[in-house]
Amino acid sequence: MVTRATSPSKTDVACYRDLQEHLSALDEAGLLLRIEKPVNKDTELHPLVRWQYRGGIPDAGRKAFLFTNVHDSRGRKYDMPVVVGALAANREVYRTGIGVPLDEIGPHWANAVNNPVDPVTVSNAPCQEVVMTGKDLVGEGNGLDALPVPISTPGFDSAPYLTAGLFITADPDTGIQNMGTYRAGLKASNRMAVRMSAREGGAGGYLHWEKYKKRGEKMPCVVVLGSPPAVAYTGPQKIRRDVDELTIAGALAGAPIPIVKCRTSDLMVPADSEIIIEGFVDTECLEPEAPFGESHGHISLEDFNMIFEVSAITRKTDAVLSSIISQVTPSESSVIKRVAYEPMFLAHLQDQLGIKGVKRVFLHEPLTNIRRVIFLQMEPGTPRTEVWRALYGATSLRADCGKYVIAVNEDIDPDNGDAVFWSLGYRADPDKDVEILRHRDAGHGPKDKDGARPEDSTLLIDATLKREMPPLALPKREYMERARELWDDLGLPALNPESPWHGYSLGDWSDEWDALAERAAQGEYLENGKRSAQRRRAGVKPNTHVRSVPGWDEDQT
């Protein structure tokens, strides 16, 4: 049965952007590409967006893609647009969605977690303008099969997958709802297979499933597609089990989230969402799910996972289907996590553990899914004991983060692998600056052939300066900047400076040596020759450092 209701395009009580208003904001900011050319959702859509992550385009150049002319491999056309990258194609897209400057995202999240805002119930919801139930969910072109759900990893994935879905379940004992981002592969027009992490500390929805299983009841569950960004950003985050994520979303938005009761269960969903898929999860039987390209960067092979039986699909009349680029990082899902996790780790080290000297936390993103490699940027002169407190502290926040934790100085750019190797090569002694922590959780990653996930370990490295060192052997900044102007005047190829691109002191440098260099740069090197001639010594072995010779700086007349 299909029913159509007249409702406002947005609830009156909402004072934040819904997805479509967010798309308009991205468009105005030049962060949205509209693709009107026909695109195949099964073979072309995700690969096209993937190129902006694997084609050498920097973060600032990445955009959201809105596809308005979508078809499938059987030639079927869809009247519903598909958007990819609207949540976090890059940091600026994320910042636009969350509504604060980048450097305020950490405090904004902390405030939201500490000051939740309860949602407000409404009865007239845009997400229920169109309601499909019963026979209209069954058969080709109906139900889930009517939605233009893309295939994320063509050539490996076994089905179209919901990647941007927020799954809402409720604790049957307390009634507290949980919202998490899980994957769901389409199996039929009214059936999906859902993967909720069952490992220790895994999905909140899985814990609810266990309770319903003991009761011998199916678990009510809904999937929210295309929620307002303030809601969407809370799904991937780890929130306390006894806290409804919609209260955190309200704090992020600065106003209560309007919610509405589902048509076929008592679950409450964000009223300004694009699409809601209602249903019940079987607690008796499981069925094979996957292969599917996962966010750890490998293909997840078939596991037995939960069966989601669809009882209703409701949506806006002009709904937009949202999908996320995940799989190999960098990706949209890794940006969502990284931008929120980095300030969370920094607050843990600075505020919770009281560690001095930590300036910034970097979660390495390309290919490592932000979880495997953590860099800690330390202030100059930070005591060795504080460096090691920071290294150990970084491993204590999340069990699945930090297989390699490396402390570097603030002059090292952790996003530049060559700079990191330079720091390891000259500032770390494997005998004194390395520790291994055993019996660690392997975290999010591929399983063994038997389905087991073995223990892992953590390598801690202090790659900070232990002593003053001579300057980096590149021209000083002012000379490189002048040369850059000359380069541009000559019309030479566009430059993309890599850090470090100029020389600077690392502590072992004197005013006198600075004066020598300045005279040389001014063409007065002969004056320097007169100085050195006055300081000649006899009986000294070649390569002897001048500071090891008593009175080396006294003129010999």
Tokens (6 digits) for 343: 């300030």
- Number of CB atoms found within 10 A of residue 250's CB: 26
CA 353 – CA 393 distance, rounded (Å): 7
Q: Kindly report the length of the chain.
A: 557
CA-to-CA distance for 63 and 366, rounded, in angstroms?
Answer: 18
The amino acid at 377? Q
How would you write the pLDDT of the chain (557 residues) with one tens digit per residue? 777 765 556 776 666 789 999 999 999 999 999 999 999 999 999 999 999 999 989 999 999 999 999 999 999 999 999 999 999 999 999 999 999 998 899 899 989 999 999 999 999 999 999 999 999 999 999 999 999 999 999 999 999 999 999 999 999 999 999 999 999 999 999 999 999 998 766 789 999 999 999 999 999 999 999 999 999 999 877 788 889 999 999 999 999 999 999 999 999 999 999 999 999 999 999 999 999 998 888 899 999 999 999 999 999 999 999 999 999 999 998 999 899 899 999 999 999 999 999 999 999 999 998 889 999 999 989 999 999 999 999 999 988 899 999 999 999 999 999 999 999 999 999 999 999 999 887 767 676 666 666 788 999 999 999 999 999 999 999 999 999 999 999 999 999 898 899 999 999 999 999 999 999 999 999 999 999 999 898 999 999 999 999 988 888 76
Could you tell me the domains of the chain? 2-323 (2.30.110.10), 353-462 (3.40.1670.10), 477-548 (no CATH)
pLDDT for 451: 66
Asked if residues 198 and 206 have their Cβ atoms less than 8 Å apart, the reply is yes
Rg (CA), the chain: 29
What is the DSSP code string of 465-525? -SS-BPPPSS-BHHHHHHHHHHHHHTTPPPP---S--SB--BB---HHHHHHHHHHHTT-H
Q: What is the DSSP string of 154-219?
A: TTT-SS-EESS-EEEEE-TTT--EEEEE-EEEEEETTEEEEE---STT--HHHHHHHHHHHHT-PE
d(C-alpha 542, C-alpha 139), whole Å: 88
Q: 305 by DSSP, 3-state: which? A: strand
Spatial contact of 342 and 350, defined as CB atoms under 8 Å apart: no
End-to-end CA gap in the chain:
106
Give CB contacts under 8 A, 24+ apart, made by 140-143.
140/189, 141/76, 141/189, 142/189, 143/189, 143/190, 143/310, 143/313
Q: Is the distance from CB of 224 to CB of 270 less than 8 angstroms? A: yes
Beta bridge partners of 120: 258
Long-range Cβ contact pairs of 391-397 (< 8 A, separation 24 or more): 391/435, 391/460, 391/461, 391/462, 392/460, 393/348, 393/349, 393/353, 393/355, 394/345, 394/349, 394/361, 395/437, 395/440, 395/458, 395/460, 396/348, 397/344, 397/345, 397/348
